[in-house]
Structure formats: structure tokens, C-alpha cells
Amino acid sequence: MAQYEIPIAENVEMTVQRGKVRAKGKKGELEVDFLHPLVSIEKKDGKIIISSEDKRRKTKAIMGTWRALLKNMTTGVTKGWTMEMKLVYSHFPVKLERQGNRLIIKNFLGERGTRRADIIEGVDVKIDGESLKISGVSKEKVGQTAANIEQATTVRGFDRRVFQDGVYPLKKPAPVDE
């Protein structure tokens, strides 16, 4: 039988109900479904226990992924996650602005139309000139928002060696240093 025990941090409240794990901390709250027919998850004695009778490599990989997700949840609700991106342009001055849950990219490569990138709910994007700071409680949502922004500024129809314009990540999602 394979088993992982993850201790619950002091300032984090975690509950497990039918495969749903809810973490609550000073920065916010997260809820993730952990459902798999061969792997079980439960809370016992101040620890989250992930266990399985199956000893196959695939099952152990799923258990390791769940362990990492639980660790990321704990870090997210206690410290939060942040990521930095940089706007790079050389031919046309680009303007970034936030409108609700969208990032609007104007004058990218001199295009008349605007490009849009979705900002996932629960994620905050701050624009400071040519740099963007993306922060939130969920590491996955912070990373997906950054991917949406990067994908919206993908250059098509031009030589990438010449037109290197775009919004690029400077740092991966990391816990917020206080």
C-alpha cells in the first residue's frame, strides 16, 4: 500500500468531503476536487492522507501530483502566488489596459484592432508601464492567466527573429515574499 501524509499548517483550515478538499487561510480560500477510483484522500490527526492499494507507477504519479497540489494550496492561502511578465516591443508602441476581467492590448505590431486576454476570476493583474504583476491564491489560475496573455500576443505572419514583440514571463509563479 502506497501512502503520503501531508501535515496541515497551523494557520490553515482544511476540510475533506467526498474527494473535495477545501483550504482556508488568511489570503483566501481554495477548493479542489481530488477524484480517482484507485486513490483515496482523507483528513486524520491534523494530516491529509493520500493512499492507494494499487502499486503501479501511474497511480503513484497521481498521488505525487495530489501531494504537490495540496502543498500549492497551502502556500496559496497563506502567502499567495505572484508572477511577473514584461512587455517587449520595438516597432510600434503598445498600450496595455485592464477592462473588467480582460487585458486589452492596443497597437500590437501596429494593428488597428485590439487583442484581448482573459483574466481568470480570483487573479489580480497590475500594469506598471511595461511590466505586469499577476497575483492570486491559486498557482494554476495565476499561471493560466499568464499563458492567456502570452498567447494573445503571439506573432503570426512575421519573421520571429525580427519581430520579437510580445508579453513574456520574467519569473514563474512564486510565493509572495512579505
Residues 110 and 51 in one domain: no
Closest CA to 77 of 145, 138, 33: 138
Cβ(50)–Cβ(142) under 8 Å?
no
Tell me the residue range of the domain where 95 lies: 81-175
Instruction: Identify the residue whose cell numbers are 492561502.
Output: 77
Q: How confident is the model at residue 16 (pLDDT cuts 50, 70, 90)?
A: very high
CA 144 to the chain's CA centroid? 6
Q: What is the mean pLDDT of residues 119-146?
A: 95
* DSSP type of residue 39: B
Residues 90 and 162 in one domain: yes
Residues 9 and 65 in one domain: yes
Q: Give the SS3 label for residue 62.
A: helix
Cβ(71)–Cβ(65) under 8 Å?
no
In this predicted structure, the answer to whether residue 51 has a pLDDT above a threshold of 80 is yes
Distance, CA of 162 to CA of 68 (rounded, Å)? 40
Boundary residue ending a domain (36, 56, 78): 78
Q: What is the mean pLDDT of residues 38-52?
A: 91
Tell me how crowded residue 23 is: count the other CB atoms within 10 A of its CB.
25
Q: How confident is the model at residue 87 (pLDDT cuts 50, 70, 90)?
A: very high
What sign does the CA torsion over 25, 27, 33, 39 have?
negative
pLDDT digits (tens, 9 = 90+) for 63-84: 999 999 999 999 999 999 999 9
| pLDDT score at 74 | 93
Residues 109 and 28 in one domain: no
Size of the chain, expressed as the number of residues it contains: 178
Q: What is the mean pLDDT of residues 18-38?
A: 92
Q: Give the SS3 label for residue 63.
A: helix
| pLDDT score at 157 | 87
Q: How confident is the model at residue 178 (pLDDT cuts 50, 70, 90)?
A: low
Q: What is the mean pLDDT of residues 120-133?
A: 94
- 49: cell is 492522507
Give one DSSP letter per residue of 80-128, joined into a string: -EEEEEEEE-SSS--EEEEETTEEEEESGGG-SS-EEEE--TTEEEEEE
| pLDDT score at 158 | 85
Residues 86 and 168 in one domain: yes
Residues 85 and 163 in one domain: yes
Distance, CA of 56 to CA of 146 (rounded, Å)? 35
CA 44 to the chain's CA centroid? 28
pLDDT digits (tens, 9 = 90+) for 153-166: 998 888 888 888 89
Q: What is the mean pLDDT of residues 87-94?
A: 90
Instruction: Provide the CATH number for the domain around residue 92.
Output: 3.90.930.12
Asked whether the whole model's pTM tops 0.85, one would answer yes
Boundary residue ending a domain (55, 78, 101): 78
Q: What is the mean pLDDT of residues 32-37?
A: 92
